[in-house]
C-alpha cells in the first residue's frame, strides 16, 4: 500500500500562495512516489477537506499556512508547521522529512528530538504565531475593504459630491452605493480585530475583539488600536478560560455564553476607551507624516512603498504597505493608494513584458506561457503572479521587481494621480483621475524591469551553457 501524506495550505488572501503551495506539494509527492491529499484554505473557503477517514492511514501532515487552519485535529500525529512560502519553495524537503520520520508528534506527545529545540527556534515559533494571528485578521478583513472601497469609488462616477443631497451633483443610486460601501468599509477594523482575537482564543475572543475594534473606530485609534485590541482580547480570553476550567461541567453554558463574553467585552472595552485617545494621537501623527512626505519628498515615499510592495509579493511587508494605503483611503487620501496599487501591479507586468520581448532568447516555453497569464494577473492587481519567477532566482529577480515598483510609485506620486478604490487593477480605471498617465507610470516601471530581467536571464543562460561545455 502506498504511503499517504496529508497537507493543508492557506495564505492571508487565499488567492495565489494557497494554490501554488498545493501544486508544489503534489509535484514533490509525485516525485517521491507517495500519495498526498492537500486541503486548500482559499478565499472561497475550504476545498478538498481532510476527513476523519484520511487521518487513519496518514504517516504525517504538512501545514503550509500563514493563517489559522485548525491544526488541533492533527493532535497525536507527526506534523510539520511552516509558512506557506516553504510549501512553495521547499516542498521536496518537507516530503522527505515526513518520509524519514524526523517529525515531532503534535502537542502532548513530543518526541525526544522535539525537546532539544533551542531558544532561537522557540522565539521564531512565537513570532510566527503572532504573524499567523495578524494575517488571520488581514485575510478576513480584505473582502470588506475591497467590496466597500470599490462601491464607494463607483459612487464617484456621478461626481465627487454625488452622495450629498444638498449638492447639484446628487444622484440617488450613487448615494445608495456610498451608504452600502461606507458600511462595509467602516467595519473593516472591527472585523480585523475580531479575527485576530478569534485566531487566538476562538469565539470568546471574537466577541471581545469585535467590541474592541468598534471602540477603536469610535475613538479614532484605527488599525493600530485594532491590533492592540485584537491581541489583548485573544490572550485575555485564553487566560479567563484557563481560570474557569475548574468549574463543574454543568456551568459550561453559563461560562461560554455569559461569564466569558461579559468579562471580555468589559475589560477590552474599558481598556480601549482609556487607550483610544493616546493611540489616536499616534495614528494621526503617522497619517500627517505620510501625507507631508507625499508632498515634501514623493521620491523617497515612492521608493519605500515600491520596495515594500515587491519585497515579498503579497506577504507581510507587502500587506503593511497595502493596509496603510487602505487606512489613508478611509481618510479621503487617494494619492497614497495610487502609488501602492501601481507598485503591486508592476511585478506581473515585468514578467509579462519580459517573456514577450525576450521570448526564446531568455525564457522556456513554460515560462512564456506563464508570462501570458501575468498580463491578466497584472491588470487585476494580483502581485502573486510573479512568485514562480522570483522563487527560481530570488537574488536577481526580487531587486529588479523592487526597483520597477519603486519607479512606478515615484512617478505616480510626482504626477499626483488619485485612485479611490483599494483593489481591482485596471478594472477601476474609470475612477482614476488621470487613468492614462497612471497606466503609463505602471508600464514605464514594468518595462525597465522587463529589460533588466531579460538581459539578466540571457547572461545567466550564457554562463550555464559555458559551464555545460
Report the CATH number that the domain containing residue 57 is assigned in CATH.
3.40.50.2300
Q: Are residues 235 and 316 in the same domain?
A: no
Cα dihedral sign for 279, 282, 283, 284?
positive
Extract the C-alpha cell encoding 79: 506534523
**Beta strands 35-42 and 58-65: pairing type?**
unpaired
- The residue range of the domain holding 111 is 4-116
Say if CB 336 and CB 288 are below 8 A apart. Answer: no
Confidence grade of residue 316 (pLDDT, cut at 50, 70, 90): low
Please state the pTM of the whole predicted model: 0.67
Residue 191 located in a structural domain: no
Q: Are residues 411 and 433 in the same domain?
A: yes
Kindly compute the dihedral angle of the four CA atoms of residues 292, 298, 299, 304, in this order, to the nearest 10 degrees. 70
Q: Are residues 150 and 132 in the same domain?
A: yes
Q: Are residues 342 and 439 in the same domain?
A: yes
Total structural domains within the chain: 4
Residue 287 located in a structural domain: no
> Per residue in 168-179, pLDDT tens?
888 999 899 989
Is the pLDDT at 333 greater than 50? The verdict is yes
Residue 219 located in a structural domain: yes
Residue 293 located in a structural domain: no
Q: What would the DSSP string read from start to end of 148-187?
A: HHHHHHHHGGG-TTTT-TTSTT--HHHHHHHHHHHHHHHT
Task: Please list the residues that pair with 63 across neighbouring strands.
Answer: 8, 81
Residue 369 located in a structural domain: yes
Out of 22-26, 52-56, 282-286, 306-310, give the one with best mean pLDDT: 22-26
Query: Which pLDDT value is given to residue 15?
Result: 65
Q: Are residues 411 and 326 in the same domain?
A: yes
Average pLDDT over residues 55-59: 86
Q: Indicate the helix (H) or strand (E) that contains 195.
A: helix 188-201
Active site residues: 11
Is the pLDDT at 289 greater than 50? The verdict is yes
Q: Of 280, 309, 339, which residue is a domain's last?
A: 280
Q: Are residues 317 and 441 in the same domain?
A: yes
More confident residue, 193 or 311: 193
Query: Which pLDDT value is given to residue 464?
Result: 64
Say if CB 46 and CB 19 are below 8 A apart. Answer: no
Centroid of chain to Cα 131: 11
Extract the C-alpha cell encoding 281: 494621537
> Per residue in 222-279, pLDDT tens?
778 888 999 999 999 999 988 887 777 777 778 878 888 999 999 999 999 999 889 8
Is the pLDDT at 331 greater than 80? The verdict is no
Q: Are residues 242 and 384 in the same domain?
A: no
Cα dihedral sign for 102, 105, 107, 109?
negative
Q: Are residues 203 and 311 in the same domain?
A: no
Centroid of chain to Cα 109: 33
Q: Are residues 14 and 107 in the same domain?
A: yes
Q: Are residues 77 and 148 in the same domain?
A: no
Q: Are residues 102 and 11 in the same domain?
A: yes
Residue 286 located in a structural domain: no
Q: List own/partner pairs for 169-178 with CB under 8 A and 24 or more apart.
A: 177/151, 177/152, 178/151, 178/152
Residue 192 located in a structural domain: no
Residue 285 located in a structural domain: no
Q: Of 280, 307, 329, which residue is a domain's last?
A: 280
Q: Are residues 361 and 324 in the same domain?
A: yes
Q: Of 116, 147, 178, which residue is a domain's last?
A: 116
Amino acid at each position: 500500500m502506498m504511503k499517504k501524506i496529508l497537507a493543508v495550505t492557506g495564505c492571508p488572501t487565499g488567492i495565489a500562495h494557497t494554490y501554488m503551495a498545493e501544486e508544489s506539494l503534489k509535484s514533490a509527492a509525485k516525485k517521491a512516489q507517495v500519495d498526498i491529499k492537500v486541503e486548500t484554505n482559499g478565499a472561497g473557503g475550504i476545498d478538498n477537506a481532510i476527513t476523519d477517514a484520511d487521518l487513519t492511514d496518514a504517516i504525517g501532515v504538512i501545514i503550509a499556512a500563514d493563517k489559522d487552519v485548525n491544526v488541533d485535529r492533527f493532535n497525536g500525529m507527526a506534523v510539520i508547521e511552516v509558512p506557506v512560502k516553504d510549501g512553495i519553495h521547499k516542498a521536496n524537503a518537507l516530503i522527505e522529512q515526513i518520509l524519514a520520520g524526523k517529525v515531532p508528534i503534535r502537542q502532548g506527545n513530543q518526541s525526544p528530538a522535539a525537546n532539544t529545540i533551542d531558544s532561537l527556534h522557540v522565539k521564531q515559533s512565537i513570532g510566527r504565531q503572532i504573524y499567523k494571528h495578524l494575517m488571520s485578521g488581514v485575510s478576513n478583513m480584505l473582502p470588506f475593504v475591497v467590496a466597500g472601497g470599490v462601491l464607494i469609488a463607483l459612487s464617484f462616477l456621478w461626481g465627487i459630491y454625488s452622495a450629498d443631497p444638498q449638492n447639484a451633483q446628487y444622484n440617488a443610486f450613487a448615494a445608495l452605493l456610498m451608504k452600502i460601501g461606507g458600511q462595509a468599509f467602516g467595519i473593516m477594523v472591527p472585523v480585523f480585530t475580531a479575527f485576530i482575537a478569534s485566531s487566538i482564543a476562538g469565539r470568546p475572543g471574537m466577541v471581545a475583539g469585535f467590541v474592541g475594534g468598534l471602540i477603536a473606530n469610535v475613538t479614532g485609534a484605527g488599525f493600530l488600536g485594532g491590533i492592540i485590541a485584537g491581541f489583548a482580547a485573544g490572550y485575555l480570553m485564553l487566560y479567563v478560560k484557563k481560570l474557569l476550567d475548574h468549574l463543574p461541567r454543568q456551568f459550561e453554558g453559563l461560562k461560554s455564553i455569559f461569564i466569558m463574553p461579559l468579562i471580555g467585552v468589559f475589560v477590552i472595552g474599558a481598556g480601549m476607551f482609556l487607550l483610544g485617545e493616546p493611540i489616536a494621537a499616534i495614528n494621526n501623527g503617522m497619517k500627517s507624516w505620510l501625507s507631508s512626505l507625499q508632498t515634501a519628498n514623493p521620491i523617497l515615499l515612492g521608493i519605500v512603498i515600491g520596495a515594500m510592495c515587491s519585497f515579498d509579493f503579497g506577504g507581510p511587508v507587502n500587506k503593511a504597505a497595502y493596509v496603510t494605503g487602505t487606512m489613508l483611503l478611509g481618510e479621503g487620501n487617494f494619492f497614497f493608494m495610487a502609488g501602492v496599487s501601481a507598485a503591486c501591479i508592476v511585478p506581473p507586468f515585468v514578467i509579462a513584458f519580459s517573456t514577450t520581448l525576450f521570448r526564446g532568447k531568455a525564457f522556456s516555453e513554460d515560462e512564456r506561457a506563464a508570462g501570458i497569464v501575468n498580463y491578466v494577473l497584472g491588470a487585476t492587481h494580483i502581485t502573486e503572479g510573479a512568485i514562480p519567477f522570483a522563487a527560481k532566482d530570488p537574488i536577481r529577480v526580487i531587486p529588479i521587481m523592487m526597483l520597477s515598483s519603486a519607479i512606478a510609485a515615484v512617478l505616480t506620486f510626482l504626477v499626483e494621480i488619485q485612485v479611490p478604490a483599494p483593489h481591482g487593477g485596471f478594472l477601476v480605471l474609470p475612477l482614476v483621475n488621470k487613468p492614462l498617465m497612471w497606466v503609463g507610470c505602471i508600464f514605464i516601471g514594468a518595462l525597465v524591469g522587463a529589460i533588466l530581467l531579460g538581459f539578466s536571464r540571457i547572461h545567466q543562460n550564457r554562463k550555464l551553457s559555458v559551464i555545460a561545455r
